[in-house]
């Protein structure tokens, strides 16, 4: 009986890890694909392309896998775990997970015109803060996009991306 | 043979070719997608990845996050997930409130940890955050009101500045208007100003979010003649402009149409109660003769709650940096609930008709809110002096600065509360205020919020200066949180908060003529402009943990000290009690007394005049408690929540005397041995009235002349209080455990979606035994479990029919001292949503 219980816990834990990983995997794929539709300001088109992940989040591992296989244009893709506002400054994309949402407002107000596209994971955040925001609609992974918040960073967004996301104004 | 070989080869080639063809995305299963290698996924365009993501769907983890971690903004005035909130916070969502079957906003709060909620009369509730109930004790019912919590609608305070507290029935909105309710437990005046001393309840209304017309509401009817209807309609006209209108109506009857007599310990029809004679002074009525048959004060004793409200909102957001809202609304309410006066029964009728306009704007980091609230409130209908016209203006401005990781939020605040009773007085002088009286405050605040490597520091302070008190109040909060990782969050909070001044406590100048009533014949209520404001110091530590992805546990331990209580207490007794010679009684009717008729009663120690003054007392309330809350998403169809609070309240420097006993002790101090209880409660000598033929009549008192008693030319001064809450009598102050707050209270709920169309919400709320002590005696409130169930079935889209039972098992124990024996309410209705 005890063994069965242990097995059950292991199975549940594993299935939980797998299901969680699947969310992060697709979010990572989305983020990588976003880079194809966004043009960063001239000064950020050389050197490494940095995707920052705020705090310790499993999406960083998924992005690392992508970084080993892909580049963004001619730029080497670097994944950086950041903590604190100053650490965000060199990023092209900054992903802030749902559990770090309280920092979003502070970051948004500290990174004006820095060429950082903010990606959040919290209902309603594209309206007030981020350029792109992941949302779960009827059990499906989608994203909201606020063109103004991306342009405020000196970046431009391709209409193709706008047509795929939920436009927030 | 060769032909057969070629045919087989062809089949193999074709089949190989078929197998090697990439599978059409439309026919892919979840497993197919999950088995796809990264390299392949990386070659796909975003549109294809999105289609694959649709096939996979989001995992239950996303659902857990959504259900367990609602957004909250009241804990630090910015959006964050409730797991990160630096204060003890709970968010009730609109869906949860509707599914729970709560009849009104007050009842919905039973789902929230740390709330003590008692139904006084059907649909009218007493609501406290973490207790501190009925303090100071031994006084009138008014001291049982919760004056230490701030209720707001979209940041607009809905506070009663006349006497303190919240008239819940005056909320113009209903459940249909609500997007969510955010509850912050603990001292929060640094964020929200005065009266956020034990917590904040911020009701956030819906905003239109779609170009399609959205309509939601409900229609309910059932036992105790309950009729509840509400509707909310909203729409975004375009991306910049939206509107919302709503209306609501509530009607609930009591479980009885009788009134309880505190003195007779019996239930009466209103006219009978107002004709009843005082058994101890049988030549006078129990009630004020000026109240006649009582029907003016109690026009409909069968109705507990009768109210309506209308609201409108306009939303203009020209761009992402400017977000404005303009709301307005009006309400009318007529309830029978615990009295704010000193009545022969615990209940009185309260009628209000108020309106508001409220503007708020977020403009490039600058946040402003201005609102004006006006109308009348008749706090004790039928008693002169209790009807007031109110005008309350609130204005605030805050600005967010960001310096690297530091968020600094300075703010300025202004409030002006002007109340006027003069238009409702037959003679100016008969009221508490006797004219237009004003309370105003001006304040400034600063809040800093800094996060570094998982540690967050928040420091906030506010300075408030009132027009009536020389002190500058400085509520503050010092908070630190630490996210060990995504599963563990620790927090600590040291805060100070204070109450605001109230108009009656400050300005009361009320002469209560008690002629033809029991002694004293005259009472005066005197306010003070120099009262210290009650103050709460709180230390709180909290821990949030996710032991499993589907479970979130919140534990908060708190310790509060409340001081500087204000109190209405006998201050002096006018010395003519020493001059009373006789009290003559003239009977209007004949009756058959056993013994001699009361023609003349010697009454040397009866106080003829008592001055009651609002004053500070040295009472200290110390509260220690722990609240635990568990939210468990069992599966996507079942959410179970449970919460409970264990707490103890200790009183120090407590004087265990009620008003009458204080007067009595004052007289003893003055050298009189007869007690008030003897004089006020004793049947006159030799009279035992025949209760079937009670006497009516009037009494008049004659006095010795001062010359005879004290000598020619000597004026007798009022005898001042030298007892009770006075440093001259420290021996009278004791320490006790205060039992008006239950030592355990909490609730459990299960929200089960049986299948797509059917939802079942079962909840139970529990509180333990309490001893409620006031000037009328001690009432033992027995433990009670209130079980509720709502079963709803969607008949068309999201429109559902439902059965709803409140207090399912019809436990009719009174929840509030001398309150109604509230019963089960069984309802049927329709929830509308499209």
Q: What is the pLDDT of residues B779-815, one digit of tens each?
A: 999 999 999 999 999 999 889 999 999 999 999 999 9
Q: Which residue shows structure tokens 């406290």?
A: B128
State the SS3 of B255-311: CCCCEEECCCCEEECHHHHHHCECCCCCCCECCCHHHCCCCCCCCCCCEEEEEEEEE
| B592 alpha carbon, distance to own chain's centre | 51
Residue B684 has pLDDT above 70, yes or no: no
Question: Which range (B334-348, B421-435, B571-585) has the least confidence?
Answer: B571-585
pLDDT above 80 (res B249) = yes
C-beta separation of B649 from B741 below 8 A: yes
Rounded Cα distance between A108 and B271, Å, is 67
Q: B679 pLDDT band (50/70/90 cuts)?
A: very low
Residues in a beta bridge with B418: B391, B438
Question: ipTM of this model?
Answer: 0.85
Q: Would the pLDDT of B431 be above 70?
A: yes
- The minimum CA-CA distance between B765 and chain A, rounded to whole Å, is 31
A38 and A74 in contact (C-beta within 8 Å)? no
Cβ–Cβ pairs < 8 A, chains A and B: 143
pLDDT interval class at B84 (50, 70, 90): confident
What's the angle, vertex CA B573, arms to CA B567 and CA B574, rounded to 5?
140
Chain A interface mutation, best of B37, B54, B405, B452, highest count of A Cβ atoms under 10 Å: B405
Interface test with B, best of A35, A98, A102 (most B CBs within 10 A): A102
User: pLDDT-derived band of residue B487, with 50, 70 and 90 as boundaries?
Assistant: confident
Cα B520 from Cα B161, distance rounded (Å): 29
User: Is the Cβ pair A109, B400 closer than 8 Å?
Assistant: yes
Q: Could you report the per-residue pLDDT of B531-555, keeping only the tens digit for each?
A: 999 999 999 999 999 998 889 999 9
pLDDT at B14: 45
pLDDT in tens, B619-648: 999 999 999 999 998 887 899 999 999 999
Contact B46 A84 (CB under 8 A): no
User: Per residue in B729-777, pLDDT tens?
Assistant: 545 788 999 999 999 999 999 999 988 899 999 999 999 999 999 989 9
In angstroms, the Cα distances linking B280 to B300, B648, B661, B687, B688 are 29, 39, 18, 10, 9
Architecture label for domain B66-257+302-499+534-565+617-655+733-833: Beta Barrel (2.40)
Nearest CA in chain B to A143: B50
Question: Residue B669 has what pLDDT?
Answer: 61
Query: Percentage of chain B with pLDDT > 70?
Result: 82
pLDDT at residue A143 tops 50: yes
Shortest alpha-carbon distance between residue B202 and chain A (Å):
19
Mean pLDDT value across residues A59-85: 89
Three-point CA angle B806, B809, B810, nearest 5°: 75
The answer to which of A52-61, B22-31, B200-209, B420-429 has the lowest mean pLDDT is: B22-31
Q: Which of A:8-47 have CB within 8 Å of B?
A: 16, 19-20, 22-23, 26, 29-30, 32-34, 36-37
> What does the pLDDT average to over A14-41?
79
Q: Confirm or reject contact between B409 and chain A (CB < 8 A).
A: no
B717 at the A interface (CB within 8 A)?
A: no
The whole-number pLDDT of residue B745 equals 97
Q: Span B395-418, mean pLDDT?
A: 92
CA B9 to chain centroid: 83
Given a contact cutoff of 8 angstroms between Cβ atoms, the answer to whether B389 and B419 are in contact is yes
Chain B contact present for A149, CB below 8 A: yes
- Which of B81-95, B272-286, B551-565 is the least confident region? B272-286
Mean pLDDT value of segment B85-111 = 95
Per-residue confidence band for B512, with pLDDT thresholds at 50, 70 and 90: confident
Distance between CA atoms of B487 and B1, rounded to whole angstroms?
A: 70
DSSP B571-622: EEE-GGGGGEEEEEEEESS----BS---SEEE-TT--SEEEEEEEE---EEE
Give the model's confidence band at B695: pLDDT under 50 very low, under 70 low, under 90 confident, else very high.
very low
Alpha carbon of residue B586 to chain centroid:
48
Which of B8-17, B32-41, B167-176, B531-540 is predicted with the least confidence, judged by mean pLDDT?
Answer: B8-17
Give me the residue from A23, A110, A164 closest to B46, CB to CB: A164
Q: Facing residues of B615 across strands?
A: B567
Q: What is the mean pLDDT of chain A?
A: 84
Domain boundaries for CATH 2.40.170.20 within chain B: 66-257+302-499+534-565+617-655+733-833
- Would you state the pLDDT for residue B106? 97
Residues from chain A contacting residue B486 (CB–CB below 8 Å): 56-57, 99
pLDDT of amino acid B602: 37
Split at pLDDT 50, 70, 90, the class of B460 is very high
> Given a cut of 60, is residue B186 above it in pLDDT?
yes
**Is residue B92 very low, low, confident or very high in pLDDT (cuts 50, 70, 90)?**
very high
**What is the structure's pLDDT at A133?**
94
Domain locations along chain A: 2-167
Say which residue, B686 or B289, is predicted with more confidence: B289
With 70 as the cut, is the pLDDT of residue B691 above it? no
Q: State the pLDDT confidence band at B402, using cuts at 50, 70 and 90.
A: confident
**Residue B741: both structure tokens together:** 């707050």
For residue A33, the chain B residue with the least C-alpha distance is B46
| Residue B398 touches partner A, C-beta closer than 8 Å | no
pLDDT beyond 50 at B575: no
Which residues, in sequence order, are bridge partners of residue B584?
A: B600, B700
Q: Do B739 and B781 form a contact (C-beta atoms < 8 A)?
A: no
A127/B320 touch (CB, cutoff 8 Å), yes or no: yes
Contact yes or no for B605/B577 (Cβ under 8 A) = yes
Cβ-based burial of B623 (10 A; exposed 0-12, middle 13-18, buried ≥19): buried
* Residue A114 in contact with partner chain B when CB distance is under 8 A: no
Determine the pLDDT at residue B282.
65
- Is the pLDDT score of B290 beyond 70? yes
pLDDT-based confidence at B595, cuts 50/70/90?
very low
pLDDT in tens, B100-117: 999 999 999 999 999 999
CA distance B560 to chain A (A): 28
CA angle B699, B700, B705 (to 5 degrees): 155
Question: CB-based contact (8 Å) between A125 and chain B?
Answer: yes
Return the pLDDT at B57. Answer: 75
Give me the residue from B42, B58, B486 closest to A69, CB to CB.
B42
Q: Give me B502's structure tokens.
A: 């109230």
Q: What's the CA gap between B196 and B538, in Å, rounded?
A: 12
The pLDDT score that the predictor gives to residue B728 is 44
Neighbours of A47 (CB within 10 A): 12
Could you give the CA distance from residue B306 to residue B250 in angstroms, rounded to a whole number? 6
**Residue in A29, A55, A127 nearest the CB of B41:** A29
**CA separation for the pair B767, B743 (Å, rounded):** 8
Give the per-residue pLDDT at B31: 77
In this prediction, residue B262 carries a pLDDT of: 92
Task: Identify the residue with better confidence: B172 or B713.
Answer: B172
Which has more pLDDT, B589 or B445? B445
Rounded percentage of chain B residues whose pLDDT exceeds 90: 60
Is A30–B81 a contact, with Cβ atoms under 8 angstroms apart? no
Mean pLDDT of all residues in B63-71: 70
pLDDT value of residue B280: 67
Q: Which residue has the tokens 């500087």?
A: B564
Q: Which residue has the higher pLDDT, A27 or B605?
A: A27
* Of residues B363, B450, B458, the one with CA closest to residue B407: B450
Percent of chain A with pLDDT over 70: 88
Classify burial at B129, counting beta carbons within 10 Å of its beta carbon; exposed 0-12, middle 13-18, buried 19 or more: buried
Q: What is the DSSP letter of B684?
A: P
- What is residue B583's predicted lDDT score, i.e. its pLDDT? 47
Q: Is the pLDDT of residue B683 over 60?
A: no
Range B661-672 average pLDDT = 64
State the pLDDT at residue B667: 60
Give me B516's structure tokens.
């033809």
Contacts of A109 in chain B (CB under 8 A): 365, 400, 402, 407
Whole-angstrom Cα distance, residue B285 to residue B517? 7
Q: What is the pLDDT of residue B244?
A: 96
Q: Which CATH number is associated with domain A2-167?
A: 3.40.50
pLDDT at B672: 47
Of residues B22 and B654, which shows the higher confidence score? B654
Length of chain A: 169
- Residue B656 has a pLDDT of 84
Average pLDDT, chain B: 84
In chain A, which among 52-71 make CB contacts under 8 A with chain B? 55-57, 65-66, 69-70
């Amino acid at each position: 009986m005890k063994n069965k219980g242990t097995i059950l816990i292991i199975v549940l834990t594993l299935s939980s890890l797998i299901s969680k990983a699947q969310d992060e995997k697709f979010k990572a794929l989305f983020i990588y694909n976003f880079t194809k539709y966004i043009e960063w300001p001239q000064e950020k088109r050389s050197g490494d392309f940095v995707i920052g992940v705020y705090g310790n989040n499993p999406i960083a591992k998924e992005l690392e896998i992508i970084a080993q296989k892909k580049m963004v244009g001619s730029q080497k893709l670097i994944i950086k775990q950041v903590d604190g506002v100053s650490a965000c400054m060199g990023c092209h994309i900054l992903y802030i997970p749902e559990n770090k949402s309280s920092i979003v407002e502070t970051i948004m107000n500290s990174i004006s015109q820095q060429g950082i596209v903010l990606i959040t994971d919290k209902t309603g955040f594209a309206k007030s803060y981020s350029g792109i925001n992941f949302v779960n609609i009827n059990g499906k992974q989608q994203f909201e996009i606020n063109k103004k918040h991306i342009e405020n960073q000196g970046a431009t967004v391709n209409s193709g991306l706008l047509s795929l996301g939920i436009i927030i104004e | 043979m060769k032909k057969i070989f070629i045919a087989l080869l062809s089949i193999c080639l074709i089949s190989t070719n078929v197998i090697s063809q990439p599978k059409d995305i439309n026919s892919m299963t979840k497993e197919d997608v999950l088995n796809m290698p990264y390299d392949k996924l990386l070659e796909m365009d975003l549109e294809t990845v999105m289609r694959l993501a649709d096939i996979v769907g989001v995992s239950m983890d996303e659902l857990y996050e959504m259900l367990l971690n609602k957004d909250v903004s009241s804990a630090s005035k910015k959006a964050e997930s409730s797991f990160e909130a630096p204060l003890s916070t709970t968010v009730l969502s609109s869906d949860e409130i509707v599914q729970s079957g709560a009849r009104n906003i007050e009842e919905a709060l039973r789902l929230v940890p740390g709330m003590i909620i008692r139904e006084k009369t059907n649909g009218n509730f007493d609501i406290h955050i973490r207790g501190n109930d009925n303090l100071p004790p031994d006084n009138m019912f008014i001291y049982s009101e919760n004056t230490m919590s701030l209720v707001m609608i979209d940041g607009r305070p809905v506070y009663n500045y006349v006497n303190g507290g919240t008239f819940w029935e005056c909320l113009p909105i209903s459940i249909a208007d609500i997007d969510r309710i955010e509850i912050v437990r603990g001292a929060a005046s640094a964020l929200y100003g005065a009266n956020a001393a034990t917590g904040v309840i911020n009701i956030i209304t819906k905003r239109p979010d779609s170009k399609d017309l959205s309509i939601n509401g409900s229609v309910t009817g059932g036992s105790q003649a309950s009729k509840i209807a509400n509707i909310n309609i909203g729409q975004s006209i375009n991306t910049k402009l939206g509107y919302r209108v709503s209306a609501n109506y509530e009607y609930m009857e009591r479980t009885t149409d009788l009134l309880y007599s505190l003195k007779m310990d019996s239930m009466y029809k209103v006219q009978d109660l107002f004709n009843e004679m005082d058994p101890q002074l049988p030549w006078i009525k129990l009630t004020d003769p000026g109240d006649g048959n009582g029907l003016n004060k109690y026009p409909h004793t069968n109705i507990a709650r009768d109210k309506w409200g209308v609201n409108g909102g306009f939303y203009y957001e020209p761009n992402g940096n400017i977000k404005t809202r303009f709301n307005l609304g009006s309400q009318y309410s007529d309830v029978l609930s615990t009295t704010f006066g000193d009545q022969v029964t615990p209940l009185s009728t309260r009628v209000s008709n108020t309106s508001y306009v409220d503007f708020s704007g977020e403009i490039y980091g600058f946040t402003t809110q201005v609102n004006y609230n006006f109308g009348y409130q008749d706090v004790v209908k039928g008693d002169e002096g209790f009807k007031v016209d109110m005008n309350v203006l609130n204005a605030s401005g805050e600005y967010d600065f960001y310096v690297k990781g530091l968020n600094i939020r300075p703010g300025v605040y202004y409030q002006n509360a002007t109340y006027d009773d003069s238009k409702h007085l037959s003679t100016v002088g008969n009221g508490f205020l006797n004219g237009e009286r004003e309370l105003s405050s001006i304040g400034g605040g600063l809040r800093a919020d800094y996060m570094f490597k998982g540690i967050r520091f928040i420091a906030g302070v506010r300075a408030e200066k009132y027009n009536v008190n020389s002190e500058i109040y400085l509520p503050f909060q010092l908070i630190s949180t630490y996210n060990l990782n995504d599963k563990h969050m620790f927090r600590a909070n040291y805060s100070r908060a204070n109450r605001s001044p109230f108009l009656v406590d400050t300005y009361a100048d009320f002469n209560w003529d008690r002629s033809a009533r029991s002694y004293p014949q005259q009472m005066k209520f005197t306010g003070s402009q120099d009262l210290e404001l009650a103050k709460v110091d709180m230390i709180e530590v909290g821990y949030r943990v996710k032991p499993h992805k589907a479970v979130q546990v919140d534990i908060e331990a708190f310790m509060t000290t409340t001081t500087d209580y204000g109190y209405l207490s006998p201050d002096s007794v006018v010395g003519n009690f020493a001059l009373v010679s006789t009290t003559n009684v003239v009977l209007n009717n004949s009756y058959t007394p056993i013994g001699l008729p009361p023609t003349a009663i010697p009454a040397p120690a009866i106080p003829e005049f008592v001055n009651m003054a609002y004053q500070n007392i040295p009472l200290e309330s110390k509260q220690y408690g722990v609240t635990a809350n568990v939210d468990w998403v069992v599966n996507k169809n079942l959410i179970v929540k449970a919460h409970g609070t264990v707490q103890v309240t200790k009183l120090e420097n407590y004087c265990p005397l009620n008003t009458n006993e204080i007067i009595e002790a004052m007289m003893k101090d003055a050298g009189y041995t007869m007690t008030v209880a003897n004089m006020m409660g004793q049947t006159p000598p030799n009279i035992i009235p025949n209760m079937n033929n009670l006497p009516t009549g009037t009494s008049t008192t004659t006095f010795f002349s001062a010359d005879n008693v004290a000598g020619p030319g000597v004026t007798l001064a009022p005898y001042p209080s030298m007892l009770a809450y006075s440093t001259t009598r420290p021996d009278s102050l004791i320490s006790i455990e205060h039992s008006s707050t239950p030592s355990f209270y909490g609730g459990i709920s299960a929200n089960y979606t049986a299948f797509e169309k059917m939802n079942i919400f079962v909840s139970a709320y529990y509180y333990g035994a309490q001893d409620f002590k006031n000037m009328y005696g001690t009432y033992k409130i027995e433990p009670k479990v209130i079980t509720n169930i709502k079963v709803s079935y969607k008949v068309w889209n999201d429109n559902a029919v439902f059965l709803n039972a409140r207090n399912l098992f019809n436990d009719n124990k009174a929840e509030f001292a001398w309150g109604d024996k509230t019963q089960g309410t069984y309802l049927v209705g329709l929830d509308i949503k499209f």
